[in-house]
A and B are shown apart, each in its own frame.
Chain A
Amino acid sequence: DQQVKQNSPSLSVQEGRISILNCDYTNSMFDYFLWYKKYPAEGPTFLISISSIKDKNEDGRFTVFLNKSAKHLSLHIVPSQPGDSAVYFCAASAKSNTGKLIFGQGTTLQVKP
């Protein structure tokens, strides 16, 4: 019973183009969503988040979109850079449930020069 799903295990994009990473969730109690980036042999690092009261949050090249009715969120990176190549994890939490994070499987992004 996976509550957070990232159905694309990998994505390859050309440098300068847009990268779109997708995430779906099933638990309607989730009210906070996050994206983490992970390099090999390191812990995940926080990238960007969005509260369920919003549908968009932007931070520089990174934008997260939330569609509550579809229980779907996406991360847009534009323009993509080779240094963005990493594994991206989507995570969700419910304030009513200790705020612990439930993670998706991750999507490996490769940005080609």
Chain B
Amino acid sequence: ETGVTQTPRHLVMGMTNKKSLKCEQHLGHNAMYWYKQSAKKPLELMFVYNFKEQTENNSVPSRFSPECPNSSHLFLHLHTLQPEDSALYLCASSQVGENTEAFFGQGTRLTVV
């Protein structure tokens, strides 16, 4: 089983829907991240949580709402999205305070119709 698990793997939603992406890490890390990958663009950091506290929000629109109930779980709540929000959403975790790699989940392929 991978150290970082994301569900669902694929999601199609209408612009008026509300849905949530889920991420769970089994690595004992203290930081979790949401990244977005759009076509032909770099991986864009969206949110950072350290010890369950949000430490960074990279000017992400309010239609994306993160939630981190504990250090192992991270959610991304979605509402009234636009078609241009269609992308691959990746969750990652790492151990803050050490120079170590982040581990990624498989991602959720989101399509907004």
Is B81 an interface position by the 8 A CB rule? Answer: no
Interface of A toward B, CB cutoff 8 Å: 2, 4, 9, 31-32, 34, 36, 41-46, 49, 51, 89, 91, 93, 95, 98-106
CA distance A4 to B48 in the complex (A): 18
**Can you give 9 contacting A-B residue pairs, CB < 8 Å?**
A4-B42, A42-B106, A43-B104, A43-B106, A43-B107, A89-B42, A95-B99, A99-B94, A101-B92
Is B68 an interface position by the 8 A CB rule? Answer: no
Across the two chains, which residue of chain B brings its CB closest to A94?
B99
Q: Which 9 A-B pairs have the closest CB atoms?
A: A43-B104, A103-B43, A32-B99, A46-B101, A105-B42, A103-B42, A44-B104, A43-B106, A43-B107
Is B103 an interface position by the 8 A CB rule? Answer: yes
Q: How far is the CB of B87 from chain A (nearest CB, A)?
A: 13
CA distance A99 to B31 in the complex (A): 9
CA distance A101 to B100 in the complex (A): 10
Known contacts A98-B55, A98-B56: A44-B43 contact under CB 8 Å:
yes
User: B48, A98: Cβ atoms under 8 Å?
Assistant: yes
Interface of B toward A, CB cutoff 8 Å: 4, 6, 31, 33, 35, 40-43, 45, 48, 50, 55-56, 90, 92, 94-107, 109
Residues of B within 8 A of A2 (CB): 42
User: B101, A43: Cβ atoms under 8 Å?
Assistant: no
Which one of B50, B100, B105 has the highest number of Cβ atoms from chain A below 10 Å of its Cβ? B100
Across the two chains, which residue of chain B brings its CB closest to A50?
B99
Residues of A within 8 A of B107 (CB): 41-43
Known contacts A44-B90, A45-B104, A95-B99: A101-B42 contact under CB 8 Å:
no
CA distance A43 to B107 in the complex (A): 6
User: B4, A98: Cβ atoms under 8 Å?
Assistant: no
Residues of A within 8 A of B96 (CB): 98-99
User: A93, B99: Cβ atoms under 8 Å?
Assistant: yes
CA distance A34 to B103 in the complex (A): 12
User: A101, B102: Cβ atoms under 8 Å?
Assistant: yes
